[in-house]
Structure 1
């Protein structure tokens, strides 16, 4: 059996059901202000569009983090030690993962937890070929919900959680603390976590990253409605909503909305939702951090910084340990 086939056979598939997606959407749209879970951005088309976003001239986070990783990974490998089980939350394409696994000393296994099955299998196929000595144990699931991790055949020395891309910034404060606490439990007392965080900077630079000139980010945001129409039978008119992303300097975050362009009705699961002209649906936050804010989150979650690395434009990697 090929290395790729073995990795695919090891897949734990916890893809969200239609019923769960429908319940999440109805709950979100029943709130005021209305919301849709950003988790559901990542079907096959959404994952492909996000990869395009990461390559746009305006979107600095990915290329900045990649360059920082390349610079600091020797130090990370020394701090982490050999024979670790790497667990990645929201693995996406796996570009950063390949760098990390190649830098570590004899990693035992790799468990990506990714909600997009297509993106997960594509990244595992590439990594299994590039790193045949690393056991691939993929899990298709929403990492914000409890997931039982598969056990590697070889006993690891410790777990290393990998959470790049400033994905933590997609969560409001209470959610972020809860996620960090869950990471603390998954790590165990002797585990570590390598987390990427986008730092507060010039609002013009930040806003441009979420409003690229070619409209790729707008297509990505609107694709959420296309997915819901396909998977839960809603009837969103994509031409009647527009993408809007603005930076709040007081909250240190990008706030991304889909804004209704007219008075309209949308049918979802037997319910009718009325949208006023100009009414937003909040679909994503992208928090930016400074050291004081981030350190306070860690303290509340029972974590502390073991090492930190920064680069320009302001972006950071933090190696976390349990307190």
Structure 2
């Protein structure tokens, strides 16, 4: 029910997607430009070297072999790829100072821009909260600046914590993908596909777990203007974990499918819509779950107030006759 209602709220307020898209396009252009400048200064010789070209060629050949069913290439890919990575690592080690400086610069830049993107996300949460609680219509600029202080405090905590969690998740998935064939004792196409499928599943589950734990953090911070108290409230999962986890797990899977299919069918162009829409959908889902968990009613649309929670009927709706 929460998934369906969040989708209804997303489609009814779809103009927010274009506001977030415009903001992120500006931030993305700045990030790409500055990142290219930093990497070009320190890594040009390495990125244009034979070792890097060999690694990129092997990645392309891997997917070609996966599609064509070239079992001979797939069976030897792991060892060959690790050798190529070792050669690339040796080339990097020869110029370690500039590499560390460049990557540190890009990581810091990434965190800064993730922080700046978070400012807009927090503003969007405030807009969504006003829409849900009072059916109010708040402008993006008003929500952005009104919540700027809380947004800064929130993302000073969220960005580094989320970054560490995501890095650890990717490292776990890396080992999971490369060592699954070894554990199974087989390097056939089916085994590689199974390893890739399980790796994607593990990553999605880890993201669903993260969203489960932080589900009510931002809604609480927007409503009560208390960031740390919101974090404590979000980690209070008694009687909430399964509903949150299942909702986020299904939602993340649906978003992955939607983005992959739309990106493939439109050569990536429709991702300009689906990616910000996915981000805002998660905000609506967080709010819907937050209201359900606290036994609160909210506006589904102008003529209907709904709500459900453990201490309320499973379905409780009030139709508002605004014309009377």
Q: Which TM class, normalised by the smaller chain length? A: under 0.3
TM-score in terms of structure 2 length: 0.26
